[in-house]
Chains A and B, each alone.
Chain A
């Protein structure tokens, strides 16, 4: 939902970033207000995933220029864990498996870290089990997955459901979902998308990073951005995603060539 007077949650200005001295982001500009759903599309290597990792603070990515303000705060002055506690959430494209660490315990520690920042009461083991039980319904997840090690031996769909379960528990302000649709069959995609839709409110915002239009059949974006060569090349409404579905990305090359980039 677009409301021009809604709070400006995320303001990305001329963002440049590199991996091992290789520039990937070359001047990204984006503003995200409360209540909005943005889709960031683009081909492999366009910089979509890098953008998500830079926002979450992955140590392998180095910011070389520009700024990101999250609710008026300099995002890059915050450690990754501090960003998370303040409400920035990254849904991983490839959620990490952590043998020996119980999923339930992990979820509890993470939830309490966020709750402390929200001024909410810490949940003990018993209270948390009730709390998580309610959230499981959001992604129709089997409680048996709570007893296992974090993501260990989970199928692709189960891992993504576990990501959205974490989103439900952490109640983020800005959620960045990195290719949440990849590797999902249509049923799993619907469940995951249904979870995201349930969690979207007028107070938070979602950034969907995706390769394909099909996720946008399930989650309707307010804005669609097309990334190429480390920048946002075009911004439009939902119709831009449909146009991409029809025409593919060939026009991107032409436009880049016209700009002397490709």
Chain B
């Protein structure tokens, strides 16, 4: 964790925020956002740190790090073979570079994180390493965390980020990931809250050829949530898998904005986004796929499946495909539905009560994404967490 390199970044972030001001509804990316809640997040004081004590024991062999946005150094941390902290010179070179490649410059949530974060975890990964678990949590107020992961050629990592929050608080998180050639990262993102906290999470991932990146996000229980994975295949020829589960209840609002760009040929994308909205809540999905002329023979598939669990809930879903290359396969689809009467009746006709049947169907709908999380997520009982959040 190096904080000295962050000082100029903070300066720049503050200046950018002043220049940009808060997003407005006239900006397409913020058109549907509850901007009052965003303003409330922007006005939160920094968190007075309190690390949660009630974490489940990590699975065996898992390296767990807890990031709470404050500045304790990781000196004394024993790193398993294959992990190393980036040195100062490396950091100065890479910091912000992946964000730029992924087109995140001047994005409000990123500048907001720049202006707020004091803590940076920057790791280099070599070879096949033990699973890494990052627990991102804090107390009241605003918590800002920033992570950089450089996976060298042929590195192989299971990563789980767990974001936990309670009460009137907000978490701003930015992670930058570089995957070298033939590197492989299975990245789980499990973010659950109690309905009052807000989340702004931004991911910038760049992939060298023949690398494989699988991102599975399970996000639920945020008053205002915004998750933005942006992936660039630097020269194509890489594999990207994005699986997302976004759930809202009460009056929550949760937006998922994904963007994948192929800057070379023969790239592959397999994407499924599921949104479940109950109560008077609102889910938003925006899925951009950019296939420029250089990206011939790209094979991309995006599916957005949405479940409306109440008459007052709202779902917005928008695929955004920009395809210039002519020899490509790009499929996309979106569905919005309610729990199927026939499925409910089938379960009831086997003696399962109506509310249990509905719960079973919901668990099934969630399970399809949850089972894609890296296996170290099991310690967190993700399905139970998600169902509890829906009951609340």
* A residues adjacent to B (C-beta < 8 A): 56-60, 79-81, 83-85, 89-90, 92, 95-96, 98-101, 106, 109-110, 113-114, 117, 149, 166, 170
Q: How far is the CA of A36 from the CA of B342 in the complex (A)?
A: 30
B345 and A80 within 8 A (CB): yes
With a CB–CB cut-off of 8 A, which chain A residues contact B327? none
Q: How far is the CA of A89 from the CA of B350 in the complex (A)?
A: 7
With a CB–CB cut-off of 8 A, which chain B residues contact A149? 364
B348 and A109 within 8 A (CB): no
B351 and A60 within 8 A (CB): no
Interface residue B368 (Cβ < 8 Å from any Cβ of A): yes
With a CB–CB cut-off of 8 A, which chain B residues contact A59? 341, 345
- In the complex, how many angstroms separate the beta carbon of B368 from the nearest chain A beta carbon? 5
B365 and A110 within 8 A (CB): no
Which partner residue on chain A sits nearest B346 by CB separation? A96
- B residues 360-390 in Cβ contact with A at 8 Å: 360-361, 363-368
Contact of A106 among B345, B348, B350, B366 (CB under 8 A): B350
A106 and B347 within 8 A (CB): yes
Q: How far is the CA of A96 from the CA of B350 in the complex (A)?
A: 12
B343 and A96 within 8 A (CB): yes
A113 and B351 within 8 A (CB): yes
Besides the contacts A57-B349, A98-B364, A101-B363, what 13 more A-B pairs have beta carbons closer than 8 Å? A59-B345, A79-B348, A79-B354, A81-B348, A81-B351, A96-B340, A100-B367, A101-B361, A101-B364, A110-B347, A113-B350, A114-B351, A170-B350
Q: How far is the CA of A241 from the CA of B360 in the complex (A)?
A: 42
B352 and A109 within 8 A (CB): yes
Q: How far is the CA of A101 from the CA of B354 in the complex (A)?
A: 16
Interface residue B356 (Cβ < 8 Å from any Cβ of A): yes
In this complex, which of B349, B361, B366 has the most chain A Cβ atoms within 10 angstroms of its Cβ? B349
- B residues 318-353 in Cβ contact with A at 8 Å: 340-343, 345-353
Which partner residue on chain B sits nearest A113 by CB separation? B351
User: Given A100-B364, A101-B360, A149-B364, are A84 and B351 also a contact pair (CB < 8 Å)?
Assistant: yes
Q: How far is the CA of A8 from the CA of B342 in the complex (A)?
A: 31
Contact of B348 among A80, A114, A117 (CB under 8 A): A80
Which partner residue on chain A sits nearest B344 by CB separation? A59
Q: How far is the CA of A71 from the CA of B364 in the complex (A)?
A: 36
* B residues adjacent to A (C-beta < 8 A): 340-343, 345-354, 356-357, 360-361, 363-368
- In the complex, how many angstroms separate the beta carbon of B236 from the nearest chain A beta carbon? 32
User: Given A59-B341, A95-B346, are A100 and B368 also a contact pair (CB < 8 Å)?
Assistant: yes
A110 and B368 within 8 A (CB): no
- In the complex, how many angstroms separate the beta carbon of A112 from the nearest chain B beta carbon? 8
Which partner residue on chain B sits nearest A110 by CB separation? B350
A99 and B364 within 8 A (CB): yes
User: Given A84-B351, A85-B351, A113-B351, are A100 and B346 also a contact pair (CB < 8 Å)?
Assistant: no
In this complex, which of B340, B348, B350 has the most chain A Cβ atoms within 10 angstroms of its Cβ? B350
With a CB–CB cut-off of 8 A, which chain B residues contact A83? 349
B356 and A98 within 8 A (CB): no
Q: How far is the CA of A12 from the CA of B203 in the complex (A)?
A: 64
With a CB–CB cut-off of 8 A, which chain B residues contact A170? 350-351
With a CB–CB cut-off of 8 A, which chain A residues contact B341? 59-60
B353 and A81 within 8 A (CB): yes
6 smallest beta-carbon distances between A and B, as pairs: A100-B364, A113-B351, A101-B364, A110-B350, A84-B351, A96-B346
With a CB–CB cut-off of 8 A, which chain A residues contact B367? 100-101
With a CB–CB cut-off of 8 A, which chain B residues contact A166? 350
- In the complex, how many angstroms separate the beta carbon of A53 from the nearest chain B beta carbon? 9
A84 and B348 within 8 A (CB): yes
Contact of B354 among A81, A85, A99 (CB under 8 A): A81
Contact of B349 among A84, A99, A100, A109 (CB under 8 A): A84
- In the complex, how many angstroms separate the beta carbon of B341 from the nearest chain A beta carbon? 7
Q: How far is the CA of A92 from the CA of B348 in the complex (A)?
A: 13
With a CB–CB cut-off of 8 A, which chain B residues contact A81? 348-354, 357
**A-B pairs with beta carbons under 8 Å apart, 15 shown:** A57-B348, A60-B341, A81-B349, A81-B351, A84-B350, A84-B351, A85-B351, A95-B346, A96-B342, A96-B343, A98-B346, A106-B347, A110-B351, A113-B350, A113-B351
With a CB–CB cut-off of 8 A, which chain B residues contact A89? 349
With a CB–CB cut-off of 8 A, which chain B residues contact A101? 360-361, 363-364, 367
A113 and B352 within 8 A (CB): yes
With a CB–CB cut-off of 8 A, which chain A residues contact B366? 100
With a CB–CB cut-off of 8 A, which chain B residues contact A60? 341
Q: How far is the CA of A95 from the CA of B349 in the complex (A)?
A: 11
With a CB–CB cut-off of 8 A, which chain B residues contact A117? 351
Q: How far is the CA of A99 from the CA of B367 in the complex (A)?
A: 9
With a CB–CB cut-off of 8 A, which chain A residues contact B350? 81, 84, 106, 110, 113, 166, 170
Q: How far is the CA of A15 from the CA of B346 in the complex (A)?
A: 23
- In the complex, how many angstroms separate the beta carbon of A116 from the nearest chain B beta carbon? 9
With a CB–CB cut-off of 8 A, which chain B residues contact A99? 364-365, 368
- In the complex, how many angstroms separate the beta carbon of A7 from the nearest chain B beta carbon? 22
With a CB–CB cut-off of 8 A, which chain A residues contact B349? 56-57, 80-81, 83-84, 89-90, 92
With a CB–CB cut-off of 8 A, which chain A residues contact B365? 99-100
Contact of A109 among B354, B356, B364 (CB under 8 A): B356
